[in-house]
Structure 1
Amino acid sequence: MQLNGLIFTLPKEIKLLIGAFIIVLSIGFFTGLLFVGETSSTNPNGIEEQYLGNEDDENATVMRFKKSDQEMLTLVHNHILSMAIIFFLVGLLVAITNLNNKLKLFLIVEPFVSVMLTFGGLYLLWKGMLWMKYIVMFSGILMTLTYSLSVLIILKQLFQKR
């Protein structure tokens, strides 16, 4: 079965369904990023503080405490499972676009690597590997860029005449 470019041949109803899904999914995805910006700041030290607390910082404006075992396991579990489903569905849609095979393969596989590095990295950071905050930040940025590019390609090709 030829998948490359299959998106152009889908019926109008399926294209509308996919378009609506991608738009609503993206609202949820980017709202999550806004939440990250509000809770842990967008720098490595803010990430560290969010999970390890700041009780020792006398100048802290907001007191944060180290996450408990249950909080960390719940966060890692929920994010890895939900993002695996999100990126599986987006990956299926990328698979039917008309793209260079190497770029397509990167857009399909990279988000799964970033999910493991981001949320596995948060867990390792919480366990005391403080340098993981840089891996978490880099992989989170790469995951967001990959998601954004995938969504733009899908939406563009959904409503483009072949």
Structure 2
Amino acid sequence: MKYSGLLPNLPKELRIFIATFVIVLSVGYFTGLLFIQETESTTPTGIEENYLGNEDDEDADVMKFKKGNREMLTVVHTHVLSMSLIFFLLGGLVWLAKAPKKLKLFLTLEPFLSIILTFGGIYVMWSGVSWFRYVVVFSGILMTVTYTGSAILVLWQCLFPTRYKMSDVSSR
């Protein structure tokens, strides 16, 4: 099946539709990151406090309590499902772009590993393995870098297709 490099060869209207989708998806993704920043969960200590609470810290500006089992399962469940769908859709568009096969393989498979490590890691940390907070930070950063790279690749080829158009679209 010939699919590599198909994205910049699509009709202009379809490329605009895809670019609009990726822009709106990115607004949602990065708004989520702003929420994480607001909850002060961008550091290993902040992540731990957000899920395990900080009732023992008398100097804390905002008191946080340990999340319950039901709340943790809801957080993990909803994030794994929604993030998987986000990366599945974006990954499908990445495979239509013109780029080296190894780069596309990384951009489309790594996010799924990061989803498991980030949200599974949050649950493992909450369960008592506190060093997993470092895994959560690392995998969350890697997931965001991968998302950004994928979104830029797709947007760039939708908005500036003449650099990537091919007369014979072939699979890599």
Scaled by the length of structure 1, the TM-score of the pair is: 0.98
Distance in 1 of aligned mates of 2:40 and 2:112: 22
Distance in 1 of aligned mates of 2:102 and 2:68: 41
Amino acid at match of 1:78: T
> SS at 1:40's partner residue?
coil
Residue 43 of structure 1 aligns with which residue? 43
Note the residue ranges of structure 2 that are not aligned, 5 or more in a row.
Answer: 166-172
Amino acid at match of 1:16: I
Query: 1:64-103 counterparts in 2 under 5 A?
Result: 64-103=64-103
For residues 89-148 of structure 1, give each alpha carbon's deviation from its aligned partner in whole angstroms, at most 9, with x where no partner exists. 000000001111111100010000000000000000100010100000000000000000
State the Cα RMSD in Å.
0.7
> 4+ residue stretches of structure 1 with deviation over 3 A?
none
Matched length: 162
Identity within the alignment, %:
57
For residues 21-49 of structure 1, give each alpha carbon's deviation from its aligned partner in whole angstroms, at most 9, with x where no partner exists. 00000000000000000103321000000
Amino acid at match of 1:7: L
Residue 19 of structure 1 aligns with which residue? 19
Amino acid at match of 1:4: S
More relative contact order, 1 or 2 (CA 8 Å, 6+ apart): 2
Note the residue ranges of structure 1 that are not aligned, 5 or more in a row.
Answer: none
Residue 12 (structure 1) shift: 1.5
